[in-house]
Amino acid sequence: MPDSTLIELRRATLAAFASADTMQQLEDARVTALGRKGTLAQISKDFGKLSPEQRASVGKLLNSVKQDLESAYEEKKKHFEEAELARRLAGEWIDVTLPSPGLRPGSLHPITLIQNEIEDLFTSLGFAILYGPEVETEEHNFDALNIPAMHPARDMQDTFWLSNGHLLRTHTSPVQVRGMRELGPPLRMIAPGRVFRNEEVDASHEHTFYQVEGMMVDRDVSVANLIYFMKTLLSGVFHREVTVRLRPGYFPFVEPGFELDIRCLICDGSGCAVCKHSGWVELLPCGLVHPNVLRLSGIDPEEWGGFAFGLGLTRLAMMRYGIDDIRQLQGGDLRFLSQF
């Protein structure tokens, strides 16, 4: 076997390695030359037919060709592997300082926004913020508020009763009862939260809505104090001076009781659809705490007096943001909620 066969094999295979554009082409070239049934293996088979002298010289050349081809192959393979790694790294590279493309920042619910404002406002006026349970006892929700069983005032609030005799609170007034009993007078507190009434749902009625009720119990509390706090509250919420008026209103837990109206903020009192052309919007029931209510929570009405009010948070949010359908607020529709 002439040496030129081996030399030619080396030349051709090195050229094939050099011109391989893919790993597969490189691999094919390797198999052709170095594979188990490749050219080199074929040549080695014929090795036995050579004379001992020839064997020595050809063997040497054969080994050196084999080594040359193997190392050329390894080098080219390494080159492909590095290119592949570089390509993968380029693809997987991320800029960790970029904002995530998949997530949008959330936003607070309009009721939460207005509740936060009201809480801040009352905190600045020295009021504590108290939260109570949504499942209440009949005693906290009704009896302690001077609404005994069989009293017709129970019908004013359609109630979801639970089978164990408890109920879903119909207002946050029971938190005032808890406040009076646990903290005692003098007391300034508000009770924001979710309340429930067994109502037919339409554009202006929901079975689930939000209130902020509040009370102040101290010595010599008068209707003038009540009006002052209510005006401060409403100016704070609407960011402007509001004109209020009181009309008599009946609630078993206050005496005297009032409906507080504000001069319509849409038309300034000249009459529009929002105020039903009366110039006034009914917003806030309130009054001086009934002596029975104080007594039922262990406070002596001879020594202490107070005012209480019930603000419809849902109603307020609707007025503030011009929301015309109450069902939007509980609906969970992100297209609506993400506007705030």
Binding site for ligand PHE (CB under 6 A): 171, 173, 213, 251, 254, 257, 285-287, 308-310
Q: Shortest approach of ligand PHE to residue 130 CB, angstroms? A: 15
The neighbouring-strand residues paired with 195 are 209
| Residue with smaller CB distance to ligand PHE, 171 or 315 | 171
Q: How far is the CB of 169 from ligand PHE (least distance, A)?
A: 9
CB of 302 to ligand PHE, least distance (A): 22
Sequence-ordered list of residues with C-beta below 8 angstroms from that of 290, at least 6 positions apart, any chain: 146, 252, 253, 254, 255
Name the residue among 315, 261, 321 with its Cα closest to residue 286. Answer: 261
Nearest approach in angstroms of CB 233 to ligand PHE is 13
What's the rounded Cα separation, in Å, for the pair 88 and 80? Answer: 12
Strand-strand pairing, 208-218 and 280-289: unpaired
Q: Are 168 and 155 in contact (CB under 8 A)?
A: no
For residue 176, the minimal CB distance to ligand PHE (Å) is 8
Residue with smaller CB distance to ligand PHE, 175 or 275? 175
Nearer to ligand PHE, 38 or 185 (CB): 185
Q: How far is the CB of 171 from ligand PHE (least distance, A)?
A: 3
Residues contacting 28, CB < 8 A, separation 6+: 20
> Which CB atom, from 121 or from 266, has the smaller least distance to ligand PHE?
121
Q: How far is the CB of 325 from ligand PHE (least distance, A)?
A: 22
Q: Is 173 helix (H, G, I), strand (E, B) or coil?
A: helix
Alpha-carbon distance of 233 to 267, in angstroms, equals 21
Output 193 or 287, the one with its CB closest to ligand PHE.
287
Q: Which is nearer to ligand PHE, 66 or 171 (CB)?
A: 171
Residue 299 CB, nearest distance to ligand PHE (Å)?
16
> Smaller CB distance to ligand PHE: residue 136 or 213?
213
Q: What share of the chain is helix, strand, coil (3-state, %, to 5)?
A: 45, 20, 35
CA 17 – CA 6 distance, rounded (Å):
16
Residues 6+ apart with CB under 8 A from 265: 238, 240, 242, 281, 319
Indicate the residue whose CB is closest to ligand PHE.
310
Measured between alpha carbons, how far is 251 from 85 in angstroms, rounded to an integer? 78
Alpha-carbon distance of 198 to 192, in angstroms, equals 20
Pick between residue 17 and residue 142 the one whose CB is nearest to ligand PHE.
Answer: 142
Positive or negative torsion for Cα 146, 150, 154, 156 = negative
